[in-house]
């Protein structure tokens, strides 16, 4: 007879928040920064196709960090909501605030519903106005909280360090080029070094109120970025991050359990429920561990460290299979 464990609501919410925060912290940062003619988004993203910053509507843009499939889902929902509202009413009736509210309700509901995994995302919703004072920048977290940001905002992995650098160097009302330089320097800044991010690895987009078309969103391509940023010293690409989808990298068969990789086929210290070939349950472990070796609790998995050494096998459990399919 088994009794369900009691988990306090505080603990439950804390666990879910920790889970979401861990997922977000694995990604690289995105900066939204206000400049004289609008709002600029800068992120380090080696992929040319999988965007973190996108257009939602005439004056509204969307930026996100975290799990790609989840924020892509939110982005498409936002485009549909905005286009439907603009079609049913008028283009001017689509507002960033309305969109931010819809996202907040959605994220909040998913976070607090027991049956769903919380979204591991954080998003910016920005709307450019006719004057810098009427620009709006909302930051939404995984649990549906909305913050109204001014000047600049950072989300993602090293958000604190990047925001610290921006706090020192941000100037209100800067030109596009100046704002871009400050943001790129902040993204390359870490406690140990100041890295020059290659222009080809930057994803930069802006909501520019001076654009003559009704659609104010534009992407700044590599050629334009090189022109603005100019000579910055030798460029240094970032080390591969878990969020980079490397071509051809399927599930890893390292023989070791990597807690950060849900696609690995090894379960580390956890014995398989049954023999994968015969379907027989495994031989029951000895009732008492050998006296010479006291049981050692495995160290907690280190998040954000792909390829961390496998956990030591707890005594009394069968060794993990070295290769899937081998018994």
Where on the chain is the footprint of another protein (CB under 8 A)? 49, 51, 54-56, 73-74, 76-77, 79-81, 83-84, 86-88, 102, 105-106, 108-110, 112-113, 215
**Smaller CB separation from another protein, 11 or 47:** 47
Nearest distance from C-beta of residue 140 to another protein, angstroms:
13
Handedness of CA 130, 132, 133, 136 (dihedral sign): positive
Nearest distance from C-beta of residue 87 to another protein, angstroms:
5
User: Which of 315, 312, 316, 317 has its CA nearest to residue 299?
Assistant: 312
**Smaller CB separation from another protein, 76 or 177:** 76
Give the angle subtended at the CA of 257 by the CAs of 255 and 259, to the nearest 5°: 155
Tell me how far CA of residue 76 lies from CA of 54, 62, 82, 209, 308, in angstroms: 10, 10, 10, 24, 35
**Smaller CB separation from another protein, 89 or 285:** 89
**Smaller CB separation from another protein, 16 or 195:** 16
> Residue 13, Cα to own-chain centre: how many angstroms?
20
Tell me how far CA of residue 198 lies from CA of 31, 39, 174, 225, in angstroms: 17, 22, 23, 10
**Smaller CB separation from another protein, 106 or 236:** 106
Token couple for 64 = 């996100």
Q: Kindly report the number of other CB atoms within 10 A of residue 118's CB atom.
A: 22
**Smaller CB separation from another protein, 165 or 216:** 216
Nearest distance from C-beta of residue 80 to another protein, angstroms:
5
Nearest distance from C-beta of residue 121 to another protein, angstroms:
13
Contacts of 246 (CB under 8 A, 6+ apart): 240
Nearest distance from C-beta of residue 104 to another protein, angstroms:
9
Nearest distance from C-beta of residue 127 to another protein, angstroms:
16
């Amino acid at each position: 007879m088994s009794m369900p464990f009691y988990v306090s609501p505080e603990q439950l919410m804390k666990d879910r928040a920790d889970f979401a925060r861990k997922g977000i912290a694995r990604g690289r940062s995105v900066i939204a920064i206000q400049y004289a003619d609008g709002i600029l988004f800068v992120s380090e993203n080696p992929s040319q196709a999988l965007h973190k910053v996108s257009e939602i509507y005439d004056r509204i843009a969307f930026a996100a960090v975290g799990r790609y499939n989840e924020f892509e889902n939110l982005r498409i929902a936002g485009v549909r909501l905005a286009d439907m509202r603009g079609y049913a009413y008028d283009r001017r009736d689509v507002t960033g605030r309305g969109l931010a509210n819809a996202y907040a309700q959605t994220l909040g509901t998913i976070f607090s519903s027991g049956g769903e995994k919380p979204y591991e995302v954080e998003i910016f919703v920005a709307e450019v106005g006719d004057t810098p004072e009427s620009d709006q920048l909302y930051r939404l977290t995984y649990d549906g909280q909305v913050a109204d940001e001014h000047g600049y905002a950072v989300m993602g992995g090293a958000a604190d360090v990047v925001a610290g650098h921006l706090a020192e160097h941000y100037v209100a009302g800067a030109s596009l080029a100046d704002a871009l330089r400050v943001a790129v320097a902040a993204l390359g800044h870490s406690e140990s070094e100041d890295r020059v991010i290659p222009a080809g690895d930057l994803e930069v987009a802006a909501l520019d109120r001076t654009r003559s078309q009704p659609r104010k969103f534009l992407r700044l391509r590599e050629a334009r970025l090189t022109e603005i940023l100019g000579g910055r010293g030798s460029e240094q690409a970032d080390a591969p991050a878990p969020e980079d989808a490397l071509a051809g990298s399927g599930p890893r068969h390292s023989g070791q359990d990597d807690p950060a990789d849900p696609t690995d086929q090894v379960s580390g210290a956890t014995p398989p429920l049954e023999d994968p070939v015969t379907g027989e349950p495994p031989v029951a472990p000895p009732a008492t561990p050998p006296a010479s070796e006291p049981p050692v609790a495995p160290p907690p998995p280190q998040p954000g460290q792909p390829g961390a050494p496998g956990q030591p096998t707890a005594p009394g459990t069968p060794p993990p299979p070295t290769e899937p399919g081998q018994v």
